[in-house]
Chains A and B, each alone.
Chain A
């Protein structure tokens, strides 16, 4: 298999030489420095790196939440770079799903209403069969009519996962989805993300700085100072941790 063929068939999102700079002059921070990466379709990719290394920025750029200062971003066949608000809104509606670290749900809506919100906003029909599958996978059937305030943090985050999945986006982006959860709830959410890639072929990109969380992924990309510095496939927690330590060492030196 050649690289070009792979791009055409199995890449869900792609960054090409992406540069992102914040501020100017003295306060100038290069958050991303010529990052090129392909996110493979149907796989669970983790982006790792120390705090401030540009993980969130990369994810935001890939998802079209932020614009880039150099390079190009694609989601599926759509060139994200250069899209106006309407195009970006369409992209978010149809092609990407989000799970944030916190505050993922609207307090005025029930769990079910929150889950189907992206569809309702876009005026799309709910695929009942798929909805049921998702609900059963996240195990929320008996919580559907609850309001977010009546749910635990883990349950809320599982609702957010279900919401990201229910519209079958090209890519689900998750920024430290377990950052606010205890380890049991975190494991549930991670297991769920892993299964959605394995069982449903859903592309998932997750930002994390937790080696254990990264070990659920099929592939881990390491960022440091806005650059991709390493990559692991089918990692274990130990290997990830080692790599991190090694990276810290590199940076320290």
Chain B
């Protein structure tokens, strides 16, 4: 029995290849994501251990907020020089340095701020380097106020050499420096991990990075020989007191690696998500392949039964075939995954990390285990139903004509209806309560349900689609062929449905989000000009004053943004320069209290938030900001939330204790009768020293926001294209198997005068009908998913429902093209058949 199975497998290598390919792709993503994260994890571990070489302990001020520092670019709290002296005096300390580190963004020669892809852009004070990693390559150390040395990576990226001038944005306003030297790191590296760094003279560093002399962002400690990191940490900690924290170099390296690991985990989840989709779609294809094979082998299987094979043996024979395919596909997928993981890691290191030194690519156990588990399980699971069907073949079928009668569709239809309803309900509950696993499993179950319903719908729909394509005899035959096995057509189409439904759903959500942004901008925000920029972009309050004073500006206000702990709850919020201007320009309505005359430490609260937190006008709230002590604020106004504003906002008094007392956004309204464009022209020059900030009118701002969503959409489309690619394999597979099954028919058609081109057209029509059917299903299901999600996100600000008609049309067109492409190989195969052999094919 086992021998017979293996023989039949070998005899059908093509089938093995096609059905295995879907699993290979899925497994490839699974193992690829594990290999990638493993490689990067080890690379970052070695990066940070080299960053902290020579650092036995580091002393910093205890942050006021948990993780509220806004990333490593910011030095939130600084240490006084006295702490440095204290630490120096601790027993077992060999050397100490006071570090001055802060955000420093160099402006390139084109006037644009130079950016990294995630790694920090920092400035520090040139001085003793305990790690011994830095090497001055050319020039000399900075001594004068206007001198700077650049890290190799920054110098290369910006095309700077010694003698050039470079403008730098720091906590202080823009300033221009002369490049007097360029430094690198041990081993000829330009940066440690893709960061852009530069060093000022110590006095300058204090002034521009920390804003005050004689303070330090951190103190680096080197222990005397024979004193361990832990010991020196504990001694220093005992000496410096409670407001200060001390960590060992090893702890810091681990913390940094872990932080990066968190980010990578997200990346990993995305990859695994797509692996899941790929495998899900792959399951359809394998299921279909095995079903078709069992149908085609009915006679052979019946003969085995007639010769005494048991039902169990029949099942085992099919499942065994699946097992073999699963194992082979897992091995190939695992191998391909290592390649993909290595490739992605290289891409990451090249484009994402500057000169991140990649660790050797390894094969983590997790990758191996998950690849085999997933690959084999999926294949076997997909083969269970066909195996059961094979076991039910009666021995007498060996004597009957091969034509399998249409089995009634009642069972799958009922099951499909139940599953669709269950999936929909799960999705609904999941969306309503924001439970992610419920949403995802709801979608999966709904997909399965719809897939089971497809055979029933396929008949009428295929007839209509086919009707459009059957203007000639080959077309008619193609259409009839696609209607021949409703189940086969349906499952092939359903595989395509999954990808298209997901893309459509995401497109609808994003289009709705854009529509909502536009709606809010058009109906609520009456500011004509919006001043904003990339994440770290900030501008000085003085610039906002200049905007206000510009002729033609009726009113203007701005936001400071930072983390804060309000009544014990940490959140990201805004401090607003002028409540009454804010109210007018954002179309807010007070439901209690007033926006006007709110001075001092006050807060504004949206009505719902107020209700939830039990706040009202006059209530006191405690507020802890990045700097300073905890303060009490008073609720001055409760307002009805709108699409633009929600939550809690602070008055301008809070800004001094923000990590940066600089504005992140500004809004201006032009006076009646003044041209917005003129006002914009007058305002723009005020931001000459803030190249990260742009002044946009409302429509440009909305467009820019929407463009960000377009990027998200593009990424989703690229990743889901994989699901569609696998579905294409499914179409090819189904067609190829059908061609084999219909060999005699093809021979007959050729014998009575059908041309090769007509045979190819016939198969292409069949393929296009299946693909378009799948796309239509996908559009329908995707619309359902999208509308449901938008409905659920109403409270999150997606109030409008928008349909991306052009995109949906494109997906349909793509499906038609996919149909044509998928038909190519099977069509060629069919056209090449030898007429005589085909007719006598058994």
Residues of A within 8 A of B (CB): 60, 65-66, 85-86, 89-90, 92-94, 97-98, 100, 103-109, 117-118, 120-123, 149, 163
C-alpha spacing A104/B480, complex, angstroms: 18
User: With an 8 A cutoff between CB atoms, is B753 at the interface?
Assistant: yes
Contact (A121, B403) CB under 8 Å given A65-B836, A89-B755, A100-B839: no
Contact (A85, B756) CB under 8 Å given A100-B839, A106-B477, A106-B745: yes
Whether B753 pairs with A108 at a CB distance below 8 angstroms is: no
* Across-interface contacts of A108 in B (CB, < 8 A): 477, 480-481, 483-484
Binary per-residue interface labels of chain B (479-492) against chain A in the complex, 1 for a CB within 8 Å, 0 otherwise: 01101100000000
Whether A121 pairs with B752 at a CB distance below 8 angstroms is: yes
* Across-interface contacts of B836 in A (CB, < 8 A): 60, 65-66
User: With an 8 A cutoff between CB atoms, is B306 at the interface?
Assistant: no
CB distance from B759 to the nearest CB of A (A): 10
Binary per-residue interface labels of chain B (484-510) against chain A in the complex, 1 for a CB within 8 Å, 0 otherwise: 100000000000000000000000000
Whether B473 pairs with A86 at a CB distance below 8 angstroms is: no
CB distance from B407 to the nearest CB of A (A): 15
8 closest A-B pairs by beta carbon, nearest first, are A93-B753, A108-B480, A120-B473, A92-B753, A118-B752, A121-B754, A89-B755, A103-B744
- Which residues of B636-676 are within 8 A (CB) of A? none
Considering only CB atoms, which chain B residue lies closest to A92 in the complex? B753
C-alpha spacing A105/B756, complex, angstroms: 19
CB distance from A94 to the nearest CB of B (A): 8
* Across-interface contacts of A97 in B (CB, < 8 A): 752
* Across-interface contacts of B756 in A (CB, < 8 A): 85, 89
The residue in B744, B753, B835 that gathers the most chain A C-beta atoms within 10 A of its C-beta is: B753
* Across-interface contacts of B473 in A (CB, < 8 A): 117, 120-121, 123
C-alpha spacing A92/B756, complex, angstroms: 13
* Across-interface contacts of A89 in B (CB, < 8 A): 750, 753-756
Whether A107 pairs with B754 at a CB distance below 8 angstroms is: no
C-alpha spacing A123/B473, complex, angstroms: 8
Q: List 19 A-B contacts (CB under 8 A).
A: A85-B756, A89-B754, A89-B755, A92-B752, A93-B753, A97-B752, A100-B839, A103-B745, A103-B839, A106-B748, A108-B480, A109-B477, A109-B480, A117-B749, A117-B752, A121-B753, A122-B753, A149-B403, A163-B752
* Across-interface contacts of B474 in A (CB, < 8 A): 121
Considering only CB atoms, which chain B residue lies closest to A124 in the complex? B753
C-alpha spacing A100/B839, complex, angstroms: 9
C-alpha spacing A109/B751, complex, angstroms: 17
* Across-interface contacts of B751 in A (CB, < 8 A): 65, 92, 98, 100
C-alpha spacing A172/B481, complex, angstroms: 28
Whether B748 pairs with A104 at a CB distance below 8 angstroms is: yes
Residues of B within 8 A of A (CB): 403, 472-474, 477, 480-481, 483-484, 744-745, 748-756, 758, 835-836, 839
- New A-B contacts (9) at CB < 8 Å, excluding given A106-B477, A123-B472: A85-B756, A89-B755, A98-B752, A103-B744, A105-B748, A106-B745, A106-B748, A106-B749, A108-B481
C-alpha spacing A54/B779, complex, angstroms: 58
Whether B758 pairs with A121 at a CB distance below 8 angstroms is: yes
C-alpha spacing A89/B749, complex, angstroms: 10
C-alpha spacing A149/B403, complex, angstroms: 9
* Across-interface contacts of A105 in B (CB, < 8 A): 748
CB distance from B466 to the nearest CB of A (A): 12
CB distance from A46 to the nearest CB of B (A): 21
Considering only CB atoms, which chain B residue lies closest to A93 in the complex? B753
CB distance from B517 to the nearest CB of A (A): 52
Considering only CB atoms, which chain A residue lies closest to B401 in the complex? A149
C-alpha spacing A43/B108, complex, angstroms: 95
CB distance from A241 to the nearest CB of B (A): 28
The residue in B474, B484, B745 that gathers the most chain A C-beta atoms within 10 A of its C-beta is: B745
* Across-interface contacts of A98 in B (CB, < 8 A): 751-752
Whether B753 pairs with A118 at a CB distance below 8 angstroms is: yes
- Which of B403, B750, B753 meets A107, CB within 8 Å? B403
- Which of B472, B484, B748 meets A100, CB within 8 Å? B748
* Across-interface contacts of B484 in A (CB, < 8 A): 107-108
Considering only CB atoms, which chain B residue lies closest to A149 in the complex? B403
* Across-interface contacts of B483 in A (CB, < 8 A): 108
CB distance from B705 to the nearest CB of A (A): 54
* Across-interface contacts of B749 in A (CB, < 8 A): 106, 117, 121
* Across-interface contacts of A120 in B (CB, < 8 A): 473
Whether B755 pairs with A86 at a CB distance below 8 angstroms is: yes
The residue in B752, B835, B839 that gathers the most chain A C-beta atoms within 10 A of its C-beta is: B752
Considering only CB atoms, which chain A residue lies closest to B831 in the complex? A85
* Across-interface contacts of B750 in A (CB, < 8 A): 89, 92
CB distance from B538 to the nearest CB of A (A): 71
The residue in A60, A65, A94 that gathers the most chain B C-beta atoms within 10 A of its C-beta is: A65
C-alpha spacing A150/B473, complex, angstroms: 22
Considering only CB atoms, which chain A residue lies closest to B478 in the complex? A108
C-alpha spacing A108/B466, complex, angstroms: 14
CB distance from B71 to the nearest CB of A (A): 66
C-alpha spacing A120/B753, complex, angstroms: 10
CB distance from A95 to the nearest CB of B (A): 10
* Across-interface contacts of B477 in A (CB, < 8 A): 106, 108-109
C-alpha spacing A103/B750, complex, angstroms: 14
* Across-interface contacts of B403 in A (CB, < 8 A): 107, 149
Considering only CB atoms, which chain B residue lies closest to A122 in the complex? B753
- Which of A66, A90, A103, A122 meets B748, CB within 8 Å? A103
* Across-interface contacts of A66 in B (CB, < 8 A): 836
C-alpha spacing A43/B484, complex, angstroms: 41
CB distance from A119 to the nearest CB of B (A): 9
C-alpha spacing A252/B744, complex, angstroms: 36
C-alpha spacing A65/B835, complex, angstroms: 7
The residue in B474, B836, B839 that gathers the most chain A C-beta atoms within 10 A of its C-beta is: B839
CB distance from A33 to the nearest CB of B (A): 20
C-alpha spacing A117/B744, complex, angstroms: 16
C-alpha spacing A120/B748, complex, angstroms: 14
C-alpha spacing A108/B766, complex, angstroms: 13
* Across-interface contacts of A118 in B (CB, < 8 A): 752-753
CB distance from B742 to the nearest CB of A (A): 9
CB distance from B295 to the nearest CB of A (A): 14
CB distance from A93 to the nearest CB of B (A): 3
CB distance from B685 to the nearest CB of A (A): 74
C-alpha spacing A122/B474, complex, angstroms: 10
CB distance from B405 to the nearest CB of A (A): 9
* Across-interface contacts of B480 in A (CB, < 8 A): 108-109
* Across-interface contacts of B481 in A (CB, < 8 A): 108
* Across-interface contacts of A94 in B (CB, < 8 A): 753
CB distance from B463 to the nearest CB of A (A): 13
* Across-interface contacts of B754 in A (CB, < 8 A): 89, 121
The residue in A97, A103, A108 that gathers the most chain B C-beta atoms within 10 A of its C-beta is: A108
C-alpha spacing A149/B401, complex, angstroms: 10
The residue in B474, B744, B750, B751 that gathers the most chain A C-beta atoms within 10 A of its C-beta is: B751
* Across-interface contacts of B748 in A (CB, < 8 A): 100, 103-106
